[in-house]
Amino acid sequence: MTALDLSSPVAVVGTGTMGQGIAQVALVAGHPVRLYDAAPDLARKAADAIGSRLDRLVEKERLTADERDAARARLTPVDDLSGLAGCSLVVEAVVERLDVKQELFRALEDVVADDCLLATNTSSLSVTAIGGALRVPGRFVGLHFFNPAPLLPLVEVVSGFATDVASATRAYETARAWGKTPVACADTPGFIVNRVARPFYAEAFAVYETQGADPATIDAVLRESGGFRMGAFELTDLIGQDVNESVTHSVWQAFFQDVRFRPSLAQRRLVESGRLGRKTGRGWYDHREGAERPEPHTAEPAEPPAYVIAEGGLGPAAELLDLIREAGIEVREAEEDEGTRLALPSGGQLVLADGQLSAEFADVVYFDLALDYRRATRIALSHAGHTSAETVAQATGLFQALGKKVSVIGDVPGMIVARTVARIIDLAVEAVAQGVATEEDVDTAMRLGVNYPLGPFEWSRRLGRGWAGALLDEMHEVDPCGRYAPSLALYRYACATDQREDTP
């Protein structure tokens, strides 16, 4: 099954920001496009707005004037659903209410031919439920674009329970012909991106709620150590706290209130107070004119230790040993050849985040995971109240000697980056095991849909198959609420090898 022919008319129902964006994508690809909105005159206003965007594309030399004029000629606002007769694809982008969408598609079936592909752009509702009442449910599919649709490349092509393979394939190939990067997925709550991304927000909020660190510090660690483009607090302020919380709540409910997807009470209070982020001027941060952005906590300068003792190769943090030597600090090798620890002259230890608490040990400072320890500009440290001041100072001075800013946070298991990445890997592995998508499509979706520096399986290959499960096991031991219990899928994934030589 191939993509729709460019002569085939495409309709978009719902002319808000997303609807206009999808219409522009189809229009620039070369299709005749029809716009419909139930509210009077909105379709015509949307056509004018799209025309203005085409003008800007000409100014930026992304379209020629002739291409713009041809595209405008192919764009037609209509006043009634009957004006969509003869379309080969209808994409819906109306309000996120199941009853509204179901009613719309039932009405569309009376207008379009039985071979017309029907698609919803829903981000949180069940594709199966929306299309369940249709006379021809096999031609119904999810086409989840990301905002802004003309700029972001990812499209999740979602097959509902009744979706025909031919319909899903045609939708996939059409999205690709429009210059997008489609990924195929089954109809699961949140699809790929909104399912796998929940821990990015949830773990940041959890660290904040336990007073482990403030929003500015958590965001800085996620960016400067984890390599994420934005931190969770600034990103949800951009998205809108109400929008982000609504998606989280929808996924949580759809998974029968699974504790792993539990919404944040702190975010709930933010929404209740009307602090929705940039669009209202205040969210986690104050975005009003003249407001000062809070600075992340950064430790004062400290003296580095004269030497460290490497008790093992440091695992995922192995490159630190070279950085320490390059900084002129002696690295002594311990007799043990396994571990993720550095012994300090104080007698204390510096340990890579492993899901345990500093409070469990006599004199331990934990350091957080980094995407790339050489390029990272900030490292988080955590310690207990009884950890010696000398050990904390030597750990701080060590990373400062490597050219890093240091943020000292509370004694939280898994710290910030490590717990976030581990939980993302767990949900990704479980999604693949349940047939939601392939490993490749999950990685593509997370990199392109939310700009992650690595896809979950890319992270896992770098850290080791067993890393996420081991960290989550320790977190579950500390906090046995079920939120951090590794999935059975992750356990199987960690046990898998190219060849199993052992027999029971």
Active site amino acids: 123, 144, 156, 194
CB 399 within 8 A of CB 385: no
Cβ–Cβ under 8 Å, residues 304 and 327: yes
55-63 LR contacts (CB < 8 Å, sep 24+):
57/28, 63/28
Q: Could you count the other beta carbons within 10 Å of the beta carbon of residue 148?
A: 14
User: Measuring CA to CA, how many Å separate 223 from each of 174, 197, 226, 353, 400?
Assistant: 35, 16, 6, 17, 18
* Token reading at 186: 């089954």
Q: Are 76 and 34 in contact (CB under 8 A)?
A: yes
What type of residue sits at position 122? Answer: T
DSSP letter (8 states) at residue 218: H
Dihedral sign for Cα atoms in the order 474, 444, 129, 123: positive
Q: What is the distance, to the nearest Å, from the Cα of residue 410 to the centroid of all Cα atoms in its chain? A: 25
Structure tokens at 52: 């203005």
CB 178 within 8 A of CB 4: no
The Cα 214–Cα 154 span in angstroms is 32
Largest Cα span, the chain: 79
* H helix and E strand count, the chain: 19, 15
Per DSSP, the three-state class of 204 is helix
Please choose, from the candidates 379, 386, 378, 381, the residue with its C-alpha nearest in 3D space to the C-alpha of residue 409: 381
